[in-house]
Structure formats: structure tokens, C-alpha cells
């Protein structure tokens, strides 16, 4: 019989793997009408983007999606660019270089 600690460990490990495959993205859209950005955001949401923010005046949408869905976001009409957030991890200060 597995203990509760082991089950919690497996749940946490599964969550970390799921989060590791998620990417924060910034999407640039091309539209003459700022109100149309919301419609594009809805189409992006339908294919897997979890929309965090819609910046209509900047024609920009931010959100999170599965790593595999990043390329399909580019195919949505009105989308002109998809950038993934880059993260960097510095080594601990006491670790030799």
C-alpha cells in the first residue's frame, strides 16, 4: 500500500511535468480595428491558448499554451507573430563556475 507522502510526490511530479510543457506566449496581431483583437483572442482560445491578457490598443495578446500548440497559433488569421517567453536559471552563488 502506498503512503500518502508517496502519492503527493507523484501528484507534484506530474504537475511539474505538465507545467514544463506549457509556454507563456506574446502574440502580435494585425488589425485596423482594436476591437477585432478580442475576436482573434477567442479563436486562439479555441485552439488551446489560455488567454491571460488582451491589449487591444497594442494589438497584442498574452497567454499560456501547450508547447505543441505554439506553431498552430501562428496559423490563425490576423496573427503576425508568436514569441515564447524565455527563462534563464543562474546557478546558486556558492556553486563553482
Q: What is the pLDDT of residues 17-32, one digit of tens each?
A: 445 589 999 999 998 8
Quick: pLDDT tens for 54-72: 999 999 999 999 988 888 9
Please, which pLDDT band fits residue 44 given cuts at 50, 70 and 90?
very high
| Residues near 53 by beta carbon (within 8 Å), at least 6 away in sequence | 61, 62, 63
Single pTM value for the model: 0.69
Residue 40 pLDDT exceeds 80? yes
Share of the chain above pLDDT 70, in %: 78
Sign of CA dihedral 71, 51, 31, 60: negative
* Residue 59 zone, left/alpha/beta (φ > 0; ψ -120 to 50; rest): left
Assigned C-alpha cell, 83: 514569441
| Domains recognised in the chain with CATH numbers | 22-84 (3.30.70.80)
Amino acid at each position: 500500500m502506498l503512503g500518502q507522502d508517496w502519492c503527493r510526490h507523484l501528484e507534484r511530479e506530474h504537475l511539474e511535468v505538465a507545467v514544463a510543457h506549457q509556454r507563456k506566449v506574446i502574440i502580435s496581431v494585425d488589425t485596423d480595428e482594436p476591437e477585432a483583437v478580442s475576436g482573434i483572442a477567442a479563436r486562439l482560445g479555441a485552439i488551446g491558448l489560455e488567454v491571460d491578457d488582451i491589449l487591444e490598443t497594442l494589438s497584442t495578446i498574452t497567454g499560456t499554451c501547450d508547447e505543441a500548440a505554439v506553431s498552430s497559433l501562428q496559423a490563425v488569421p490576423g496573427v503576425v507573430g508568436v514569441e515564447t517567453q524565455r527563462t534563464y536559471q543562474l546557478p546558486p552563488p556558492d556553486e563553482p563556475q
